[in-house]
Amino acid sequence: MKSGKKSQTVSYGHDIEAAWLTEEAAGIIKNKSLLQQAQQYAVILAIAATDGLDTDGDLWYEYDITKDDLTKEKHWWPQADAMVGFFNAWQITRDEQFLQRSLSSWNFIQQHIRDQKNGEWFWGIKEDKTVMNEDKVGIWKCPYHNGRACLELIKRIKFFELTGLGVVNE
């Protein structure tokens, strides 16, 4: 049972994931007022997630506030959700910084996370850019985040091309 205490760990991946999933949920239930509020929060969460960006534009894993400790690893799933979350924030605001952050995440994935030789995505990389020796597929690592992110972006880009609107949940 949980103690009711608020976590002192900032998970940049969860912030950016929540940014777009919350808006998507509001769009599915077709509550216009809730959707507008979710879009506002999506942008706020995307901005908050930028605290976890490294200088090369990809997301660190997490930060422990109580220990002032940044986990200097870049796991696959925060990068995947960063692509969608920042693209979503761009769709809402048309702020080019968000689009550039989405593209930066994709470039980072191509260069460091995607296994060019054997397929699938690595678990992540360490601060020195070496590949983490973790499962490529297992109980916590499967193609869910990366597959979902790629399919979500394909859907959003196609919608944008077809309509010129760029906002999926209208």
Give the pLDDT of residue 71.
97
Q: Within a 13 Å sphere around the CA of 59, how many CA atoms are in the beta-carbon half?
A: 33
Please check the confidence at residue 169 and state whether its pLDDT lies above 60.
no
Please check the confidence at residue 165 and state whether its pLDDT lies above 70.
no
Please check the confidence at residue 167 and state whether its pLDDT lies above 70.
no
Instruction: Mark out the alpha helices in 94-133 (DSSP H runs).
Output: 96-108
Of all helices (H) and strands (E), which one includes residue 154? helix 144-163
Mean pLDDT of the chain: 91
CA 128: distance to chain centroid?
Answer: 22
Give the pLDDT of residue 170.
44
Written out in words, the top-level CATH class of the domain with range 9-163 is mainly alpha
3-state DSSP call for residue 59? strand
Please check the confidence at residue 33 and state whether its pLDDT lies above 90.
yes
Kindly list the domain boundaries of the chain, sorted by start residue. 9-163
Tens of pLDDT, residue by residue over 113-143, are 999 999 999 999 999 999 999 998 888 888 8
Of all helices (H) and strands (E), which one includes residue 16? helix 12-28
